[in-house]
Amino acid sequence: MTAELVRGQNHPLSQSRLEIRISAGTPVVAAAALGDESGRIHGTEWVAHPGAPTQPGLEVSRQAAADHRLAVDLDAVTDAVHRVSVLLALPAAEGGPGPARFGSVAAPFVAVTGLDGEEVASYTITGLEAESAVVALELYRRQGAWKVRAVGQGYAGGLAELLTDQSLPEAVQLAGTIGEAVARGLARSVQAPPPRPSDGDRSRQPAAPAVGPDQGGTAPQGTPDPVPPSYGGQPSGGPGQDGPQPAYGAGAADPSTTGGPIDYSHPRRQTSAPPPPPPAAPQPRPGQPAQPVAGDATGWSMEERLYNQVWGMFEDLARTTAAYRSAVDFAESRMDKELEQALSDPRSRLGGQGDAAREAARARHAELVGQARESLDRDLAQLVAEAEVVEPALPPAFARWDNPAWHAYRVPMEIPMALRLGDLRLPEADPLRIPMLLRLPLERGLWIDSGRADSLDGSFTDSHDMRRLAMETAVAHAARLLAVYPAGEFTVHVIDPAGSGAQALAPLTGTGVLAAPPAQGAAGVGDVLGRLTQRVDLVQMALRGGAPDALPPGFDTSQQLLVVNDFPHGFDDRAVNQLRYLADEGPSVGVHLMMVADREESSAYGPLLDPLWRSLLRLTAVPDDHLADPWVGHAWTYEPPVVPPGSQVLHQVLTQVAAARRAWRR
């Protein structure tokens, strides 16, 4: 019989091996801490957390999740332990994304169950407000017997404050370690997908709005304008949760909107008229799959339909591969079990019976894997055919550099909804490349890793080549950003302290698209960082004061990108702090970082820089399998965008951008 506890209530426990189930509507970090008679945590080894998931008698999950099952064995804890506390924290409090206060999410539910699943006691933690960490339950020893008590004590200062309260000497450091471990899990995920369109071709159920993970950046389905209306959202919360923010408009901001409600309609998009119908797919011949058509998805424009279609292909590939991998895993575990049985069966030791049993087990394995491969191949063939029609139809911002769309490039009049940052693929689906489309304006900065890496194909790239490759990749990304924004709405600054990136930067410097020549030396670094920091301050002040039109006349309202080469060479402590400030505060006011750096090289700064790396999306200059999809969490191989060797496309495009900028300034 379940006891539904209220805050402060306790309940006896008859079993010592227990499971604690946690259900929260949003990903939370779960940890468990051991305490002595007076409730003190003696040291970090008394806490099981995502960075150290097992301690004697305790086991917790390695990452933040909406559901957890923690294992507790009260017989396995030492006699000194009199208390086991179950702790929950929001990832945002430890430096991750998502909501920052329990008051804005559903009340977490915690249950203590026996190993048979029988619920002993449960507790719904209600009444939390600004707290970001909470002691949910404690199991405690009273006169030789264990009991559970509903605690529900919250802390606005996160785990650091919580652990300090429990007298842990290294509370702050441990909270940092936990944040780091959680971020390692979260940082792998690609930006949240758009709400899944109910594309009749793909999902056979109508009007079931698939709910995307809540990392923000996507408008609800049916909202005609997918572009976030404001750049003023706080980085901690999702769009729409912060209440109206005055729009910090790029160029066309209407002063009359100051303080008033946001006009969510796109100034250049007609919302009353229905969208043009998507291209009609020809009727399939009987017994054959439908012919794929580019733009075969929902959306108010061809661009949006292609964007949704690409994300649909991404999800389909993730799911069909999940089906295949699950089937292969099952086939293997079944074969292992059958082979083991054949071995342990005494009859099979005689004669050919054992051989026959082993043969049968292998045949069953091969048959199931063959069937799984068959259905994977069928889906892949369909996706490959779809990619073949979609790729050529993509607009420049979504297209590979070798796409003819780039030869027909004209400086755009509107900001595109997304940008292609590279390709994603899975080993089972080698011919298929999914465009990795990220929404614009960027929500976080980019980190192009120049660390030495053994690439996936086994070839070895030395550190000098890696740095050059990383800088070339960064230039290609920067060039693409410059090209897809309307003239004058995107400005690129470069810091190249030692001038080592000069050769890679040639396409940018040669065509004159930079705001100023790359900054060199400590003075140059300080100057650029100082100006951008001041800019962030100024815009933030104007936004907080509710007066975005109070910016100085002639203020450049364009988005700013700072490319930093060779970090940390030439950076003093002050410059490092400014960089961190730009990474944290910049994206919300249109200032973005692109760090070309090797994390190892900056290790001299210690954990000071960890939040910086965490806040940036890591990209590589060589294929690397470090990105995860938001549905199943496969490890996808990221391939950076490559300009075809000998191609002049970058130069031609940037020349046009430079000409348009000159014309626009006149």
Least distance in angstroms from the C-beta of 203 to another protein: 7
Residue 468 touching another protein (CB under 8 A): no
**Considering only 275-283, 315-323, 466-474, 539-547, which stretch makes contact with another protein by CB under 8 A?**
315-323
Q: Which residues pair with 448 in a beta bridge?
A: 596, 619
Among residues 379 and 566, whose Cβ is nearest to another protein?
A: 379
Q: How far is the CB of 163 from another protein (least distance, A)?
A: 28
Residue 302 corresponds to which tokens in the numbers above?
């061809």
For another protein, the closer CB: 296 or 624: 296
Residue whose CB is less far from another protein, 326 or 503: 326
Looking only at residues 173 through 212 of this chain, which bind another protein when binding is defined by CB under 8 A?
203-205, 208-211
Please give the Cα distance from 621 to 619 (Å, whole number).
7
Least distance from another protein to the Cβ atom of residue 617, Å: 24
CA distances from 636 to 190, 202, 368, 464, 510 (A): 10, 22, 25, 26, 35
Shortest distance, position 328 Cβ to another protein, whole Å: 9
CA 389, 390, 393, 397: dihedral to nearest 10 degrees? Answer: -160
Whether 22 and 68 have beta carbons less than 8 Å apart is answered as: yes
Size of the site for another protein (CB under 8 A): 34
For residue 654, the tally of other CB atoms under 10 A from its CB is 22
Least distance (Å) from another protein to the CB of residue 44? Answer: 31
Assess contact for 490 and 481: CB atoms under 8 A.
yes
List residues bridging with 20 in a β-sheet.
Answer: 70, 112
CB of 326 to another protein, least distance (A): 6
Residue closer to another protein by CB (options 322, 506) is 322
Q: How far apart are CA 637 and CA 634, in angstroms?
A: 10
The least CB distance from residue 200 to another protein, in Å, is 13
Overall residue count recorded for the chain in this entry: 666
Distance CA 60, CA 71 (A): 7
> What's the rounded Cα separation, in Å, for the pair 332 and 354?
19
Beta carbon of residue 419, minimum distance to another protein (angstroms, whole number): 27
Q: How many CA atoms, within 13 angstroms, populate the side-chain half-sphere of residue 531?
A: 16
Q: Which is nearer to another protein, 190 or 476 (CB)?
A: 190
Nearest approach in angstroms of CB 610 to another protein is 31
User: Binding string, 352-391, against another protein, x = CB under 8 A?
Assistant: ----------------x--xx--x----------------
- The answer to whether 286 contacts another protein (rule: CB under 8 A) is no
| Contact stretch for another protein (CB under 8 A) within 39-47, 113-121, 518-526, 638-646 | 113-121
Q: How far is the CB of 422 from another protein (least distance, A)?
A: 24
CA distances from 284 to 201, 281, 287, 317, 551 (A): 12, 8, 8, 22, 58
User: 323 or 515, CB closer to another protein?
Assistant: 323
At 311, is the secondary structure helix, strand, or coil? helix
Stretch that binds another protein, among 117-125, 265-273, 486-494, 523-531 (CB under 8 A): 117-125
Torsion sign across C-alpha atoms 411, 412, 415, 416:
negative
Q: Which of residues 40-99 bind another protein (CB under 8 A)?
A: 66-67
Distance CA 301, CA 225 (A): 10
Question: In this chain, which of 75, 116, 457, 462 binds another protein, going by CB under 8 A?
Answer: 116
Nearer to another protein, 371 or 534 (CB): 371
Q: Are 643 and 478 in contact (CB under 8 A)?
A: no
Query: Using CB under 8 A, which of 161, 296, 315, 391 touches another protein?
Result: 315
Contact with another protein (CB under 8 A): which of 151, 160, 297, 331?
331
Structure tokens at 270: 């007609």
Closest contact distance (angstroms) between CB of 159 and another protein is 24
Cβ 107 to another protein shortest distance, Å = 13
Taking the CA atoms of residue 200, residue 202, residue 207 and residue 211 in that order, the dihedral angle to the nearest 10 degrees is -160
CB–CB of 201/225 below 8 Å? Answer: no
531-560 residues in contact with another protein (CB under 8 A) are: none
Residue 371 beta carbon to another protein: minimum distance, rounded to whole angstroms: 4
- Considering only the stretches 127-135, 314-322, 461-469, 618-626, report the one whose residues sit in contact with another protein under the rule CB under 8 A: 314-322
Q: 3-state DSSP call for residue 7?
A: coil
- Report the relative pairing of strands 3-5 and 109-114 from DSSP bridges: unpaired
Compute the distance between CA of residue 623 and CA of residue 637 in angstroms, rounded to an integer. Answer: 6
Comparison of 40 and 319: residue with beta carbon closer to another protein: 319
Instruction: Using the structure block, give the residue that is written with the tokens 């009609």.
Output: 280
How many Å apart are CA 104 and CA 154, to the nearest integer? 14
Nearest to 495 by CA among 589, 582, 593: 593
Asked if residue 323 binds another protein (CB under 8 A), the reply is yes
Alpha-carbon distance of 496 to 110, in angstroms, equals: 52
C-beta of 372 vs 583, nearer to another protein: 372
Per CB under 8 A, the list member of 117, 144, 404, 606 interacting with another protein is 117
Query: Residue 416 CB, nearest distance to another protein (Å)?
Result: 28
Of 3, 389, 632, 649, the one binding another protein by CB under 8 A? 632
- For the bound state, the minimum distance from the C-beta of residue 540 to another protein, rounded and expressed in Å, comes to 38
Residue 364 has what DSSP assignment?
H
Q: 2 to 21, contacts with another protein by CB under 8 A?
A: 2, 21
Q: How far is the CB of 208 from another protein (least distance, A)?
A: 5
Among positions 316, 443, 496, 566, the unique one binding another protein when judged by CB under 8 A: 316
Q: Does 330 bind another protein (CB under 8 A)?
A: yes
The terminus-to-terminus CA distance of the chain in angstroms comes to 79
By beta-carbon proximity to another protein, the closer residue of 333 and 534 is 333
User: Candidates 215-223, 329-337, 383-391, 588-596 — which segment interacts with another protein by CB under 8 A?
Assistant: 329-337
421 Cβ contact list (under 8 Å, min separation 6):
436, 437, 438, 446, 477, 619, 641
Q: What is the dihedral of CA 98, 21, 328, 383, to 10 degrees?
A: -30
Q: How far is the CB of 124 from another protein (least distance, A)?
A: 11
**Is 631 a binder of another protein (CB under 8 A)?**
yes
Q: Are 391 and 420 in contact (CB under 8 A)?
A: no
By CB under 8 A, the residues from 23 to 42 that bind another protein are: 23
Q: How many CB atoms lie within 10 A of CB 561?
A: 25
Q: Which range touches another protein (CB under 8 A), out of 325-333, 459-467, 472-480, 571-579? A: 325-333
- Distance set, CA 18 to CA 78, 81, 142, 655 (Å): 16, 16, 17, 67
Residue closer to another protein (CB basis): 322 or 642: 322
Q: Which residues bind another protein (CB under 8 A)?
A: 2, 21, 23, 66-67, 116-119, 203-205, 208-211, 315-316, 319-320, 322-324, 326-327, 330-331, 334, 368, 371-372, 375, 631-632
